[in-house]
Amino acid sequence: MSGPAHSADHSAILTEEVRSWIGRATELIPLPEEISASDVRRYVEATGDDNPLWIDDEAARGAGYRRRVVPPMLVIELVWRLKHMESGRLTDRIPLPPEYTDTRNVNNEIEWVEPVYVSDRLSVRHCILDIMVRSGRRGTGVYITRETDYVRDDSCLVARVRQSIARFPRANVESP
């Protein structure tokens, strides 16, 4: 679609209420438990990534770390421990039209700031950076960019993830 009708469709989705979510952030949300040696062991078993920095304190100290390091991608995945919280995911609370339930990952950028160690406790803070509507081959999508800070209990930022997702209307699938 092009011209004024196209703009009208976008403004019906990107309402003032939806735009008001840009800049909203959560407080720091603590993960429910510290990172354990068994978390790292299961990660290593599942991925086959047996880097000595993850599994051997002496090797990690020899490389300049205090003790063994938590694999960085495991740190990022720990946010899933919050999925059953009452508040839900920040991006899920944006008041989009109800048919916008088909979510796709668009982009992830990860910045590693400090190492994370077994027994560290982390908290996360989410912030909605941008919401925009675009039309393309898949239809009209709502593109949401969120930034998540991972903070250790000593208030040290250890990682920052900037993720963009797209939400589309659920496709109608007809039964045969």
Q: Residue 171: its pLDDT value, please?
A: 75
- If one compares 129 and 9, the residue with the highest pLDDT of the two is 129
The pTM of this model reads: 0.84
If pLDDT is split at 50, 70 and 90, which confidence band does 8 have? very low
Q: How many domains does the chain have?
A: 1
Q: How confident is the model at residue 88 (pLDDT cuts 50, 70, 90)?
A: low
CATH code of residue 18: 3.10.129
Q: Is 56 part of any domain? A: no
Residue 165 lies in a domain: yes
- Please check whether residue 57 lies inside any domain of the structure: no
Over residues 130-169, the pLDDT tens digits come to 999 999 888 899 999 999 999 999 999 999 999 999 999 9
Which residues span the domain enclosing 155? Answer: 4-34+82-169
Sheet containing strand 29-30, edge to edge, reads: 29-30, 122-136, 139-152, 157-169, 100-112
Structure tokens at 102: 């088909």
Query: pLDDT: is 21 or 139 the higher one?
Result: 21
Is 53 domain-assigned? no
SS3 content of the chain, % helix, strand, coil (to 5): 30, 35, 40
Q: Is residue 19 part of a domain?
A: yes
Asked whether residue 150 is domain-assigned, the answer is: yes
Residue 144 placed within a domain:
yes
Of the pLDDT bands very low, low, confident and very high (cuts 50, 70, 90), residue 172 is low
Phi/psi region, residue 129 (left: phi>0; alpha: psi -120 to 50; beta: rest), is: alpha
In this structure, is residue 48 part of a structural domain?
Answer: no
> What's the rounded mean pLDDT across residues 27-34?
91
| pLDDT value of residue 2 | 41
**Which pLDDT does position 91 carry in this prediction?**
86
State the pLDDT at residue 176.
58
